[in-house]
Structures are given as structure tokens and as C-alpha cells.
A and B are shown apart, each in its own frame.
Chain A
Amino acid sequence: MLPRNYGPTTHRSLGLTDDELDEIVRMVGRAPSDVELAMYAVMWSEHCSYKSSRVHLGRLPTTGERVIVGPGENAGVVDVGDGIAIAVRIESHNHPSAIEPYQGAATGVGGIIRDIFTMGARPIALMDPLFIGPADDPRSRYILDGVVRGISGYGNSVGVPTVGGQTTLDPSYRGNPLVNVFCLGLMRVENLVLGSATGVGNLAVLLGSRTGRDGIGGVSVLASSSFGEPGSGDDAAKRPSVQVGDPYEEKRLIEACLQLLDEQLVVGIQDLGGAGLACATSETAARGGLSMDVDVAVVPRREAGMSAVEVMTSESQERMLAIVTPEALERVNQVCRRWEVEATVVGEVRQCDPDGIGRLRVRDGASGELLAEVPAASLAEDAPRYRRPLAAPLDAAERRADDPGALAPPDDCGADLLALVADPSPVYRQYDHQLFLNTVLAPGAGDAALLECAAPGIAWTGKALALSADGNPGWCRLDPRAGTAATVAESVLNVACTGARPIALVNCLNFGNPEHPEVMWQLSEAIDGMTEACTALGLPVVGGNVSLYNSSEGTDIDPTPVVAVVGLLEGLVRRPPAIGWRDGDAVVLLGRTHPALGGSRWARALRGHRDGELPPLDLAAHARVSGLVAGLVAAEASAEAAPGLVTGVHDVSDGGLGVALAECAMAAGVGCVVGGSSRAGGSASGDGGCVASHRELFSESASRVLVATSRPDRVVALALAAGVPAVVIGTAGGSRLVVEGLVDLELVELRRAAAAYFGEVLA
């Protein structure tokens, strides 16, 4: 009889439903023990098991020529040639960051980095898409400040540069901020190791920090429930479920693990994140198809008196579980001693039981009391899958009809433009974005970060990686399907603007409470939109994360699917043209403007108008635009003799043409004059080269890029030959940004307004 002291409703306080408890009883063949119940509670949490989303995720396209490892492992792995691969992953740390912003964000960074070096890759880049409440809300300012400090404090110290991200301030996130973290690592293909416990008699070695009482129930009571709901308890009281990070421990752990992998001393390795030892032991055993015996008594602890339940479910950070042969143990210990990393044998891989089932057994002492004995796969893979009800909002048609195009035109488009420009440098200046000497286009320079594809031990061969992370609640609220497709398209275009071709995508699906049918409908629609866009653009989804229950006081966040796209550029020899232009350049607009304001930041942020219809997205046309731009920019960056055709490039998205023009002007320190409605030839939404109204100025219609050139005829001819609409809309020069009849601003005014946006929040 295994120890069982819990009460009749304990499972509910651990986050399990009555039905789920019944299912556990059926699987185990008896009432679960204390340790078993605790392990099922964390492993079957929404965060770990994807029980609400899994039935939908299978629709995403996940394969491609370059894909070595797709979704399901710790990170996706994609071949970039020359025997080199990238490992990529994105995750959320939303709820911890809402409760304790510094540690929540810091441990988000720590966790995603472990997912990357677990695969054998050296982490070389981070990106952090953040969605926080409005600037006029003191608590949201506190959260943004803490989150940025947490990313800075952990990321800089652990030695992985933060090269990109996004910071969106919006009332939708007042009660539930989103902190997503992306990491990319570089590896030799032959160093790939999976999180699998194989080889009977091999040892499970726990590496890194001692186990403490922090983060218990992080994945269940914290990550898998909404804030401020009746019966959910005091949110501030959840603070002990937030883990505490130690970047110095993680730095030594990275170096020790990469050396172990380089010397081929481990047969499998898995990081300890959500659900701690329960997760790492059951997942590795399940993947290996074998049993594992774990001795909870030998796990090094930070404090006395911890129970077996606490040890098995603690989410203490900076820990890894390595599977090693007995012969390799001595060398493993040597390497760990050098890096001052504690290493303890806590388990052993065993044969399956005679019934063919691999079981996880937890004992207190090598021959001590048996505390748990369950099929490993039942924890890791057999969580219930819910086909939750989904329903489009009842007022969908009304909301779609309420178009912001009908709002009164601004008295002063210039004043609106000043309210829309935002310089995020007060955020990214706190992040080391240059480590490893790879950063060709740093934050703010281009539409995507561009990095030399190199790392310690992996010499640079001329390849470059472009990284962009994007999410747009304004678009996705109006239409989760089309909005998500547009988000993918936008990310692809960002990468194209640095000359790279997209090769892989990872996603972080941030949604509200899945028990609300409208939220499940949003999630399902978003997955369909992502599938359509990725299929049309030939982009495999190699990993993802689903974050649900982003909801407070009964209000769900606007749907916020975030994607990160990685692009590849071959033969980089010089910096590509980036955001900006040169005095005297012609400014060419590629793509056609639909003068529609649905989903625009102008409508949402300046007019508080959150409904309407998105401008149409033609994915085939989008592929033509991004292919053209990638080719033009790559020719400047990679040819032995640059054609000198393109001198600046910037995609048109958030804030529309107005903001894109302003950003080019500010980056260049050179103004521009754009034709207004008085100009002959018609408007940008037709075939002509002018911007006739605020609808054309602030529309966020997709698939558009500004290109600066001294040879506009040539650029336009190349575009038309590629089937892309192209028109000269203005000429760079002077110290003012002028859109005739709409805007006339000094660059200093624009700069002051842009600097104030985040400067005041992070003062």
C-alpha cells in the first residue's frame, strides 16, 4: 500500500477535475498515492499537457526539407547546411510575470535557454515579445519595468544576447500581461541529442541547482488558471509558485552541458522546467520506452524537511537530467566539478515490466518505501484531450460591420502620427544585443535582426540568420484567422527585408480561458489561419507553445498568437540596406494599399475603436512581394559588387505608411516629401503615386514595402516584371516629413514624440 493521506477534494485544489481523478484511478488500477496524485496534477495541467489545444495543433504543417526535429521535443531543429543546424523554441511566462515581473521574466529566459542547449546547441540569440497594459496604468508600468529588468538581469548575465522582440502596450493586457521568450541556438548536426532515456542500466544524473520549495504548482495552479476569478483565491498568494532564477548557475550549467555533449558523454538529456523532476523523469522514460527508478532521498535540497511531493514537483530553476552510461559517470563528474556544477545520480533506467509497460517508480531511499509506481507514458502522453466547445461570437457580424473607416477623419494627421511613433530603444538598450560579434542588424536597425551564423566552436562561413517575432492583437481580435495569417505574413516580410528567405517558424499561442467557447473558436481559427499562411509561404512550424487562461476578472485577452520566423541569407559580405534612405533617393512603395482602417493601430490606440474588418490578404501576392524584396536586398548584401540599387528598405505594418515613412526619416536623419491628393496620377490605393487621405496614411493593409533607390525606373521595372505593384510616392530630402495636404513635421518633433513613448514609461 503506497502512502496516501490526501482528502476527498485535494485533487481539485491541485487543479484536477473529478473526471480526471477517475481517469487516473483507472490508469493506475487503484487510488493514486500522494506523490502520484501530485505528479498527475502537474503533468496533466493545461500548460504541460496541451489538453485543450492538442486536437487542433495537428493541423499545422510541420515538415519540410530542412526540418530535422519538429514539434514535440524540447526545441525544433532545422538544417542550415555545412553540417550546421539551428535549434529554436518559443515559450510564454505570462502568469509568473504578472505576479512577480522580475523573476517571472528572468526564469522565462532561463527556461527557454535550457530548452535549446538540451538539444546540444549553443544558445546565441533571444527575442522577447511583450504585451503589457497601457502606459497610464501604474501597475502596468511596474510590470513592464520589472519584466525588462528581469530579461536584462538574467539574459545579459547568462551570456545570451537579446537581439529582437516587440513591446506592445494595450488595455487588453492590463490584468494579464504576456511575456513570450524565444531562443535560437547553433549546433553541429552530429551533436544532436534527444531527451530520451535509453539503455537499461544507464544512470539518471541530476545536474545543477539544489531543489527548493520555489515554483511548486507553477504549471497548474498558476499557469493553468485565470486571474481574479471567483474561487481562484488571492492572486498575490500565488507568488510562491513563481520560481527564482540564478543566471550564474545557468551559465555554468550551459558550459558544463555543452562540454558533456561535445565529449559525447550523455545518451539523453532533458531540462527541468514546468513540473520539475516528475516531468523530466517521466518524459525521458516514456520517450525511451523503458522504466525508470528514482530515489527521491538523494536529491540535493536547499532546505530540510521537504516532502517527496515537493521534491518531485518543485520547479526550482537551473537543473538538468542527463542519462549517462555507468562508464561515463566519472568523466561526467570531472566536467561538472570544473564548472562547479553539482551532479547526483538520482535514478536508473530499467527494463519494462513483464506486461511490456515502462513504469516510473519513486522510492524514498534506494531500497526504501515505494512512493509512486505509474506507467511513465500515462503521465507524459496520456493526459485527457478535450474537444472543448467552440463558438463564434454572437455579435460577429455587427462587430465586422462597425468599420473605423466611418470615423471622422483627423483634423490633424500630423498630430495623430506623432501619437503613433514609438522608439523602443529604452527597452532594448537594457539588453546585451551584441555578444558573440554576430549582430549585423541590431534592434531598431532593420525589420528583423540579422546575425552572422556563427558561435564559439562554429566558424562563420558567410551565412546569416534573420529573426523576427511578431504578434498583433488588433488584427487578431477582428478576425483571428485572417489576423493570424497576416501576422505570419508580416513576420515573413520582416525577414525578407533583410535579404533572407524564411526557413522555419515557431509559435506561441496566447489566448484566454479555453472553457469559454469563443476563446476556443479564436484558437481554432488562429491555427487555421497559421496553417493557410504557412502552407502558402512554404514555411514549416517546428515548435510551439500554447498559453491559455490569459484572463482576469472574467475578461479574456484579445487573441494574441505570436510567431517567430527564422530566415537564411547566404554569402553575406556587407551590411544590407536597412530602415532609412539617402538624401535625394526616390521612395518606391511596393504592393497595393487598401485604404481600410480595420485593425489599424490608428483606430485601436488613438480612437479606441476595436472592431471592423481587416483589409484583404492575398498570400500569393504576398509571396511575390517578399520574394522580390529578399532578392533585391540580398543582391546588395551578398554580391561581390553590390548593384547599389536599393539604399533603404522598410516594411509597412503597424501604424501604416505614415509610421513607416516617419521611421525611415528618423533613422536616416533625412526628411521626405510624399505627394498628396493634388498630385496627378491617382492615389496609392489605385495605380498612382500619392497618399490621398488618412485612410491611406494609416491603413495596415498587408504586403507592402518601402524601398529607397536612386534608380526608381529600374526598381519599378523589376517589380512589375515580378508581378508586384510598384509606384514612386516621394523623394527623400530636407529635415521635414511632408505628406502633401496631410502631414508636415520637423524630424526633431518626430524624434521627441518617438522617444517619449517608452522613455516616459521606463523613466
Chain B
Amino acid sequence: MSPAVGVVCFPGSNCEHDVVRALASLGASARIVWHGDDDLGDVDAVVLPGGFAHGDYLRPGAIARFSPVMGPLRRFALDGGPVLGICNGFQVLTEAGLLPGALRRNSGLRFVCTTVPCVVGSSSSVLTAATPVGTVLALPVNHGEGSFVCDEATLESLEDNGQVVLRYADNPNGSMGDVAGIANRAGNVVGLMPHPERASSDLIGSSDGIALLGSFLAAASATAPF
């Protein structure tokens, strides 16, 4: 049975249709969940997509974390449900306290849209379970505020616990520890700045994101009731 994935749309989100398109091409039944709903509906996994929720005004994710949908999302995550935050979604997850650290202005002080090589740093997450550590993936990035930062102790603990799931091989934004993506301790909540959905077909330049999205869907299927 194909897993049901909810893709949250905030006003200002813009990658929600892309995530639905990419997941559908991998056999998932993906649908958009409105940020103002206080119920996720019957879903096996949730994606917070990229974009500029609430215009990124104040700070990316700072307003989105107060949306009604975030309450049920928090409970879903704490119950072990697979949650993926891509780009702006990663920013929302850190603002909501579901992932540690924060995303700052890129070190070059400019928006950057390009494809960068990323290395899998840990397979202990719903996103990277199918990709061995050391795998190099060509993944598009597209952000102005993607420079990951946290205190030294947090970074050390992320490293020690295998929570740095993805690292830049060629750091585009000055992220500490070349961090491109992290997971929570349990591995069911993952946030990353690169866009795996933009690497979902050879026609658009890379299909390296399919292994990541496939792993995420496998985790969703594992939690799906029959």
C-alpha cells in the first residue's frame, strides 16, 4: 500500500507542489495540508516544504511555528512519525524546537542556487537509511539563509550521535561543520537545506535525491497501518 504523505503549505510556501510531484512519481499518495488546519488527517509521514512561509518576515520559520498545524505535527513527531523539513521546512523545524541549532544568513551574504556535492554522514535517519555513509550525492541548494549554526557542545553531540546525516563536500553557505542536514536523536525528524525533490529525475539534472525520498517513503510505509 502506498504511504500517505502530508505536505504542509503555509502562506508563502512554494515547493509544496514539487514535493507532491516527486513523491507521487515514487508511488506515494501525497497531498497538501493547509497550515491553518489543526489536524494532519490520516497521514503516515509529513513534509514541510521549501519556500518563504509568511514571507520569511521577522526570521525564516519564526511565524510559521505558531501555525495551528504545528501542534498536531509536534505530537506526530514525538510519537515517532517520519517528518522531513526541506530548506524553509528545516528552518521551521529549528524554530519550533523539533531540531537543534538555527539557520543564519549565508556567509557570502547572497542567495545561492546551485547544485553541490553532499556526503551522507549517517544512515541513522528516515532520510538516509538506504544510503551508506560516504555516499556522494549531487543535490540542488536554493537559499539565502542556510548557514547552520549551533553551540560547540551541540555540534559535538550531533556528531557523536550520528545526527549529522548530510554534509557539504563543497560548503556553499558557511555552515558549521559543513552541516547540510541533521536528524533528531531518534532519527525520525530530519531537516536539510538541499532539495532532494529537485534531484528526482535525470531530465532535470540529477536523480540522486530519489534514494533519500525513497528511504523516507519506506519509513512511512513501515508506520503505515494495513
Contact = CB atoms under 8 A, between A and B. Distances in A.
Interface of A: 149, 152-153, 156-159, 246-248, 251-252, 255, 338-340, 425, 428-440, 442, 452, 456, 572, 574-575, 762
B52 A248 contact: yes
A248 B57 contact: yes
A251 B12 contact: yes
A-B residue pairs, 3 tightest by C-beta? A248-B55, A159-B14, A456-B17
Contacts of A255: 11
B140 A434 contact: yes
Contacts of A456: 17
B113 A432 contact: yes
A654 to B, nearest CB: 24
Contacts of A574: 202-203
Interface stretch (B71-79, B129-137, B193-201, B210-218): B193-201
Interface in B27-77: 36, 51-52, 54-57
Given A429-B114, A432-B113, 10 more contacts: A153-B111, A157-B55, A159-B52, A248-B55, A429-B112, A434-B113, A434-B142, A434-B204, A437-B204, A575-B202
Contacts of B56: 157, 248
Contact of B110 (A430, A440, A442): A430
A252 B12 CA distance: 7
Contacts of A452: 203-204
A434 B198 contact: yes
A462 to B, nearest CB: 11
B170 interface: no
A297 B201 CA distance: 54
Contacts of A251: 11-12, 14, 52, 55
Interface in B110-125: 110-114
B21 A437 contact: yes
A192 to B, nearest CB: 22
B177 to A, nearest CB: 23
A159 B55 contact: no
A433 B142 CA distance: 9
A762 B111 CA distance: 12
Contact of B15 (A248, A340, A435, A440): A435
B203 A572 contact: yes
Given A251-B12, A437-B201, A430 B112 contact: yes
Contacts of B144: 152, 156
6 contacts: A149-B110, A157-B56, A158-B14, A251-B12, A434-B113, A440-B205
Contacts of A252: 11-12
B148 to A, nearest CB: 20
Contact of B111 (A156, A248, A575): A156
B25 to A, nearest CB: 9
A131 B205 CA distance: 30
Nearest to B205: A442
A435 B18 contact: yes
Given A430-B110, A437-B18, A440-B204, A247 B55 contact: yes
A149 B109 CA distance: 11
Contacts of A248: 11-12, 52, 54-57
Contacts of B140: 434
Contacts of A431: 111, 113
A439 B204 contact: yes
Nearest to B112: A429
Contacts of B189: none
Contacts of B17: 436, 456
Contacts of A159: 14, 51-52
Residue of A338, A428, A432, A439 contacting most chain B CB atoms (<10 Å): A432
Contact of B52 (A157, A340, A433, A572): A157
Contacts of A428: 113
Nearest to A148: B110
Nearest to A430: B111
B22 interface: yes
Most buried by A among B14, B56, B144: B14
A430 B112 CA distance: 5
Nearest to A246: B55
B15 to A, nearest CB: 7
B113 A438 contact: no
B188 to A, nearest CB: 26
A255 B140 CA distance: 26
Nearest to B14: A159
B55 A152 contact: no
A438 B204 CA distance: 7
A214 to B, nearest CB: 18
Contacts of B195: 434
Chain B CB count within 10 A is highest, among A156, A255, A339, for A156
Contact of B11 (A149, A339, A433): A339
A437 B22 contact: yes
Nearest to A433: B113
A442 B11 CA distance: 27
A404 B11 CA distance: 57
Contacts of A338: 36
B26 to A, nearest CB: 13
A521 to B, nearest CB: 42
A433 B52 CA distance: 16
A434 B204 CA distance: 8
A118 B14 CA distance: 19
A427 to B, nearest CB: 11
Contacts of A436: 17-18
Contacts of A149: 110
Nearest to A160: B14
A17 B22 CA distance: 58
Interface in B74-132: 110-114
Contacts of B12: 157, 248, 251-252
Nearest to A575: B203
Contacts of B198: 434, 437
A246 B11 CA distance: 14
A105 to B, nearest CB: 14
Nearest to B16: A456
A449 B200 CA distance: 19
